[in-house]
Structure 1
């Protein structure tokens, strides 16, 4: 483990942290989510710099970000992001727990054998218990099923989520990456049990718009909130790859993250044109891409990652300009028209 534990002062949150963040109601619930939430998929593993991770979380909270999103297998190694976050909570956030919304998930591979993957009650209940121990928590605010399981009956998976709420180990539940029809079924099953499907976490960005083909309408119909992950399409919707993949970038160091063949000449040309629109708006391309998602009220929050405190602050600036003119939206659609046809 690379701790790199430099001496940093005791943490006291900024007193004005709620003044500038925008909060949105999550579906038909009592929960308000910040327009931007912090995802801990990357940069919080055992090999990552602990002091940097700690400063990222501090900065996020100081900016009014109250929602921190994890999963059982975030790392690497699996489980280490939750362990890192647990250490940060213990050091800095003992007095702020009731101001935080902490979420975790299970649904992808986590441990060996037939009970460490997908959507069985055995897996989900055990996974949540492990996550709580890693983070040093009595409960999470939201627990998600991370992906659909084609083999486990949906009643069993939703029954596990309902049981977590009944046991007080999760206050709310959600799903991730479910198509519209399964989302409707999941919501209806939970309703019959007496538990609300609070939120859905789909992949959604300018270049990946599958949710517009029925899912967003379904969320609105069910009174379920939406939180978009991968808003920057793994970094494509930024200015960092306009000239290729830098060797020192995350994509350059980890070929699993973004492959060079994904950055086609055609796609880079679209990114350049989008970047020009962002410049006229006084935003970076990343900021515009986040704002573009938030223009739809059915998206409660956008899930962003960060490799530094400064990146958190830059992402938060997205909310300074969430309005798009008709001309801007038409220009964006024109640039992305054939991209959308591929969906």
Structure 2
């Protein structure tokens, strides 16, 4: 039996110079992305929130260091993460210089382009000009020569898919990206994107969809399309933007601890819907019987599907990373547990 990582180890204060933990890979079971040679940890760190200029840089740095010290070798970003837009990449770029440059060959770093980034007709969507300009700017902000994965962040209905995928092909052929990815594409859009990429010889290997117990849309054809294409998935919003955590149970509400923070994007209507609260409570009880928090169970449930290589977590503290990593202590879900979960894991 492999030795599990040191998830309960004391959290060290920020130290300089940074030396990565020598046992950072102990106990982490890296998983293959589809049929590719790309391996990812089951839990990746996303810098969508909590890594903009409104958060202390020292806290951000401690989170990233702790994550890497505990086997999280994949860091996921996008051009407009912040606030303001671009600041998450800039802050990560500072970490590259200060801490991570000696370990660049061990890291899988991704960025994306597709949503609003700058004014004008070339500041969003899937056109060639926007995607390639955005990649250049992302590399500059992160102090990198290349990203490991470059995504089309969303499907553009007004741009030929051949142009969007062709831009991803150019990114790979130029050496500025190692792999291409897509995010939030439908099953049919995914099949077509893969067909175009294969014709170009582009390694389109990964899809990044939202997926959680309360958002099961990928099960209606997308996972089948990915399996057919030999692609893998990395899920985001697996905690339903915070709703699938113990702090939204009836017990937490009774203790007055369920008020969302200013940066949480929990849907207020859903969070206060009695039917949703009942489902959260029931899922939390299942988790407790397993010796897990609801968040840990939610991560395990997403990772149960072989198509899902990894899931992205956000974190505002080192302690949140610690707690999420404990999900890996028990990844097994038996048929009885899955049947119980299915009673309450319904798309809202």
- TM-score band (shorter)? over 0.9
Matched, 1:59 2:66: yes
User: For this pair of structures, how many residues does the alignment match?
Assistant: 333
Partner Cα distance (1:232, 1:71) in 2: 20
Match in the other structure for 1:260: 268
Offset of residue 22 of structure 1: 1.6
- Residue 96 (structure 2) aligned to one of 89, 92, 95: 89
Aligned to 1:205: 212
**For 1:285 and 1:24, how far apart are their aligned partners in 2?**
23
Matched with 1:103 is: 110
Distance 1:253 1:67 in 2: 27
Match for 1:123 among 130, 139, 147? Answer: 130
TM-score (norm 2): 0.92
Distance 1:155 1:131 in 2: 23
Relative to the length of structure 1, the TM-score reads 0.94
CA separation in 2, counterparts of 1:250 and 1:282?
25
Residue 245 to residue 148, structure 1, CA distance change in 2 (3 Å): farther
Partner of 1:39: 46
Q: Any residues of structure 2 matched to 1:220-299 within 5 Å, and which?
A: 220-242=227-249, 243-244=252-253, 251-254=260-263, 257-263=265-271, 264-299=273-308
Shift in Å, 1:250: 8.7
Name the residue aligned to 2:147.
140
Alpha-carbon distance between aligned partners in 2 of 1:250 and 1:190, rounded to the nearest angstrom = 45
Partner of 1:3: none
Of residues 199, 202, 207 in structure 2, which corresponds to 1:192?
199
Give the CA deviation at 1:10. Answer: 1.6
Q: CA separation in 2, counterparts of 1:157 and 1:24?
A: 28
Q: 1:245 & 1:164 partners in 2: Cα distance?
A: 52
Please give the secondary structure, in 2, of the residue aligned with 1:141. strand
CA deviations 1:19-38 (Å, max 9, x no partner) are 12121001111111000010
- 1:137 to 1:321, Cα distance in 2 relative to 1, 3 A: same
Measure, in 1, the Cα distance between the counterparts of 2:302 and 2:34: 16
* Aligned mates of 1:41, 1:13 — CA distance in 2: 24
Matches of 2:255 and 2:315, distance apart in 1: 17
CA distance in 2 between partners of 1:247 and 1:165 (Å): 50
What is the aligned-residue RMSD (CA, Å)?
A: 1.7
* Cα contact 2:113–2:152 (8 A) shared by 1: yes
Structure 2: gaps of 5 or more residues: 1-12
Task: Establish whether residue 303 from structure 1 lines up as the match of residue 312 from structure 2.
Answer: yes
Report if the CA contact (8 A) 2:14-2:62 is conserved.
Answer: no
Q: Is residue 231–residue 303 contact of structure 1 (8 Å, CA) maintained in 2? A: yes
Deviation digits for residues 1-50 of structure 1, max 9, x if unmatched?
Answer: xxxxx973321111111012121001111111000010000111011110
Q: CA deviation at 1:258?
A: 2.1
Partner Cα separation in structure 2 for residue 327 and residue 248 of structure 1: 31
Q: Return the offset for 1:254.
A: 4.2
Structure 2 residue matching 1:252: 3-state secondary structure: coil
Q: Offset of 1:246 from its aligned partner?
A: 9.9
- CA gap 1:183/1:97 in 2 versus in 1, 3 angstroms: same
Give the unaligned 5+ runs of structure 1.
Answer: 1-5
SS in 1 for 2:340: helix
- The alpha-carbon distance between structure 1 residues 14 and 325, as it changes in their structure 2 partners (threshold 3 A), is same
Distance in 1 separating the partners of 2:110 and 2:305: 23
Contact 2:237 2:313 in 1 (8 A): yes
